[in-house]
Amino acid sequence: MRTTKIDISQTAIQHNLSTVKQLAPNSKVLSMVKANAYGHGITLCLPALLQTDAFGVACMQEAEEVFQALSRLNLQHDIGICLIEGVFSKPEWIQAQEINAMCVIHHQQQLDWALQERFTKQSVWLKVNTGMNRLGFSTDDALPAYQQLSRAGYDVIVSMHFANADQKDHPINQQQITRFNSLLTQIEATTGNFPKVSACNSASIFNFPEMHYDWVRPGIMLYGSSPLINQTSAELNLRAAMKFTAQIFNVYTAKKGDSVGYGSTYQFADDTTIGIVSVGYGDGYPRGINNGFVICKQQSLPIIGRVSMDMLAVDLSNATNIQVNDEVELWGDNLSIDTIAAHANTISYELLCKTSNRPSRFVVKSPLE
């Protein structure tokens, strides 16, 4: 059988959530499980995240999936759901209430729906644009929106999103913080109460502890990849949740002058022993990787030639004792996805989200610490 698989470590996810809680001990946690838990599988990750306060998703279909998973555990009243782009129609606004989901409100129409169909036991997340310039009320429009929602009886969480949180010294960070904090002060001055607030994704949980406020919103760090440009996940006390592996399923010696793969882009300078690995872009391995490598028996094997849909080739000249059926790690504990992402000129988020359905996913249950 072609063995290309993805192991999901619930222990690693649990550990990473506890790292979030150590960093932000006074904040509630909205664990981001959008895009099928960053490609890991919502239902596989959810049992490891039951210490969270709510789950963040991007659309109703994902919200329904989380709601059903929580219902199976009879936890649908204990752990919230937040639709981070809000709803896309009035019927969807009503549907969101039926599954007890909190909604982001980022534009006037969503505000209108919330005021027309009042579900005032529910929290809403009022999104403010402080510099990302994708979604949200301007800092001027946010104050009246806040007042309308709170007068209508909603529990409002005022939220923002950093555009450069991975680079602590980027000047736009301070600009966003200043704009946001001045809005918060204005809300306090006008209403007499400091509002509930959420500002931080993974990178800002590390870089801006003064912005933790009431809710933090970790995503990538739960899955064990580093959210920061210049620090590794190990340095940040994060563990890889996904281990992506395949198998060497053919070994042979190519002759000097031969080439390997589509386009014959890699030519052998000498007779060379090579291995063919059972993974390709059809499994989600990045075709555009440069100077990539895989790990087998603690050895690093360079990828040669183009990555195909179902396989890739590695150079075994400097390796010892590699045989057909040996397992190779594409990323995981021994080879950080952040390293592979750098070689593929992308970020771990994209690689994780693009893992396909073809590799079977398994949950690794290790004893709790």
Q: Which residues bind ligand PLP (CB under 6 A)?
A: 32, 34, 84, 161, 201-203, 217-220, 227
Q: Which residue is nearest to ligand PLP (CB)?
A: 219
Q: Which is nearer to ligand PLP, 5 or 106 (CB)?
A: 106
Please give the structure tokens belonging to residue 176: 């966003």
| CA–CA distances in Å: residue 325 to residues 201, 246, 261 | 41, 9, 21
Q: Which is nearer to ligand PLP, 161 or 239 (CB)?
A: 161
Q: Minimum CB separation from ligand PLP for residue 225, in Å?
A: 9
Q: Which is nearer to ligand PLP, 54 or 69 (CB)?
A: 54
Q: Catalytic pick from 121, 256, 262, 297?
A: 262
d(CA 363, CA 199): 32
Please give the structure tokens belonging to residue 141: 């429009």
Q: Minimum CB separation from ligand PLP for residue 203, in Å?
A: 6
d(CA 278, CA 261): 14
Q: Minimum CB separation from ligand PLP for residue 310, in Å?
A: 30
- DSSP for residue 38: H
Q: Minimum CB separation from ligand PLP for residue 179, in Å?
A: 17
Name the burial class of residue 229, with classes exposed (0-12), middle (13-18) and buried (19+) by CB atoms within 10 angstroms of its CB: exposed
28 flagged as catalytic? no
Q: Catalytic pick from 34, 213, 223, 266?
A: 34
d(CA 320, CA 100): 57
* Region of residue 235 (left: phi > 0; alpha: psi -120 to 50; beta: else): alpha
146 flagged as catalytic? no
Determine contact, residues 241/336, Cβ cutoff 8 Å: no
Side chain identity at residue 78, one-letter code: D
**DSSP character string of 118-175:** --TTSEEEEEB-SSS-SSSB-HHHHHHHHHHHHHTT-EEEEE---SSTTSTT-HHHHH
Q: Which is nearer to ligand PLP, 70 or 203 (CB)?
A: 203
Q: Which of 140, 131, 182 is nearest to 160 (CA)?
A: 131
d(CA 163, CA 150): 28
Q: Which is nearer to ligand PLP, 38 or 67 (CB)?
A: 38
Q: Minimum CB separation from ligand PLP for residue 356, in Å?
A: 21
Q: Which is nearer to ligand PLP, 165 or 340 (CB)?
A: 165
Q: Minimum CB separation from ligand PLP for residue 218, in Å?
A: 5
> What are the catalytic residues?
34, 262
